[in-house]
Structure 1
Amino acid sequence: MRTAGRYAWIAIAIQLILSSSAHALFETRDTKLKSVKTVGIISAMGDQFTYAKTGLTGLNNSPRSIPIASWGLDDLIAQEVAKALSGRFQVQPVTYPRATFATTQESTIGAVNLVRGDPFKKLVETEVSPRGLDAYIIITKAKASFGGGNRKVEGVGLITYSTVLESFDLVHALYEVRVVDGKTFDVIEKLAAGPQDGASSVRLPGPSLMIDAGFDTRDENLRRTIVDLITRSLPNTLNDMHLINQQQ
């Protein structure tokens, strides 16, 4: 009985610690955001469009990618984010190596990488100008699982799924948003964009859309679809991060 009672007290203590830690986390985020006045927007997720095939044989190990920098997605995203944040923050233009941000990957979780921290922290500290803003908002590619196992897709692309029983195409625009403190370069908040409200048959945990076989896949039509996915999801993502209040 004493052992059981001791375990019960340990469980209660753990719950209290976790609860207080979560409260402290949100309190720190909200407190830090209240002190932010000036922000810079960094967008680096729209450089490549990836075609992948999956189905009975699994995800193609060599998906085909094409450059789409000419679509201007990152400039559009930066403009949309700046417009959304302008009611609360003073948005200032910044310069940064977009290709470097676009190709930076988060490392697998491990002791060494936990010490190194978020890879974008160092980039903001060394590669972004001007320095000294209160915070920097970074939009980069997100990864998501598709189907079973360790099959991953990321960023902007189209998945063709085919089996004996079904076949469809899925367009996706997967991204995540970070808020980096401009003084300490710590990550205040990070969140991957979720699926659209009311989306049916969602097969990815991010902005995506099933298209039928008659969809015109010429570049301009794909671009319009991707732009729609991004611009419709951005307000919800920024709201969930407490950067804007959609009810105002």
Structure 2
Amino acid sequence: MRRIAFLWVGLAAACIALGAAAAFETRATKLQAIKTVGIVSAIGEEMSLTQAGLTALSNAAQSVSISAWGLDELIVQQATKLLSGRFRVQPVNYRRAAFAAIRDSAVAPVNLLRSDPFKELVRSDVTPQGLNAYIVITRARSKLGNGRNVEGVGLAEYRTLLADYGLIHALYEVRVIDGKTFDVIEKRAAAPLDNTGTVRIAGPSGSVDEPFEGSASSERLRAAIADLIIRSLPLTLGDMHLIDSP
């Protein structure tokens, strides 16, 4: 009986491995067949201001408009430059607010029973239709310190009994959506650029000395957020096998 049990365990493991290999092959085949793409970006219209830690003064995150920064335009421009070596990138029209309104993250556990929330939105709101695929870049979410969620572009102040730490973040995820079936071919959240900071989150971030100084009017802050995006985007697209890894 024990031998039979081991055989069943081995068979199950082999089936799982074969299934994973088949899924990878299917994904790779679909990516290889893509010739034309459109890029949708909806992460950069607002910035969150978050306080967390043992001595945080406020439990409610605030937000300010940063639409004047043009971060989504920057993302489309950078992604177009990176992807043009392999794909024919065509401009697309879409309602940015509709994509930004959806709160869903690849960082959170995946609910396999729920359809991806961006699938129907790409079908109904993006023009022109008929491209091989659409690259959709939206906000991602991560935990900070004592369990507070941070999302998208933001400034966070993490307080302890001994010190305060300032953090900027640009958390986003990238989907490749099939232009015919609207199924998600690939989905990945941008990874941290490094893990050397005192306070760490699951995505592109960096330390700052005075996190709330100047906020949305600060050109230095805008440049720092833009730098996180510019440095992380080629790494993320490379991890997704959309471009050669840098």
**TM-score, length of structure 2 as denominator length:** 0.91
SS at match of 1:161: strand
Distance of 1:48 and 1:214 partners within structure 2: 16
Question: 2:164 matched to 1:164?
Answer: no
Amino acid at match of 2:100: A
Contact residue 202 and residue 208 of structure 1 kept, 8 A: no
Distance of 2:66 and 2:81 partners within structure 1: 24
Q: CA deviation at 1:187?
A: 0.2
The Cα RMSD (Å) is 2.2
Question: 2:20 matched to 1:14?
Answer: no
Aligned to 2:185: 188
Aligned to 2:140: 142
Distance of 2:230 and 2:73 partners within structure 1: 12
Larger CA deviation: 78-87 vs 215-224? 215-224
Q: CA deviation at 1:171?
A: 0.4
Distance of 1:41 and 1:146 partners within structure 2: 29
Aligned to 1:226: 225
Q: CA deviation at 1:14?
A: 2.0
Aligned to 1:67: 65
Paired residues in the alignment total 242
Contact residue 166 and residue 210 of structure 2 kept, 8 A: yes
Q: CA deviation at 1:152?
A: 1.1
**TM-score, length of structure 1 as denominator length:** 0.90
Q: Following superposition of structure 1 onto structure 2, how do residues 1-248 of structure 1 map, counting pairs within 5 Å?
A: 2=1, 4-57=2-55, 60-106=58-104, 114-149=112-147, 151-197=148-194, 199-201=196-198, 203-213=200-210, 217=214, 218-246=217-245
Q: Percent identity?
A: 52
Distance of 1:134 and 1:146 partners within structure 2: 37
Describe the shift of the 1:22–1:58 C-alpha distance in structure 2 as closer, same or farther (beyond 3 A). farther
Distance of 1:145 and 1:198 partners within structure 2: 15
Amino acid at match of 1:16: A
Q: CA deviation at 1:144?
A: 0.5
Contact residue 188 and residue 236 of structure 2 kept, 8 A: yes
Q: CA deviation at 1:35?
A: 0.7
Larger CA deviation: 125-134 vs 208-217? 208-217
Distance of 1:213 and 1:96 partners within structure 2: 36
Q: CA deviation at 1:201?
A: 3.7
Unmatched segments (≥5 aa) in structure 2: none
SS at match of 2:118: helix
SS at match of 1:136: strand
SS at match of 1:52: strand
Contact residue 192 and residue 201 of structure 2 kept, 8 A: yes
Unmatched segments (≥5 aa) in structure 1: none
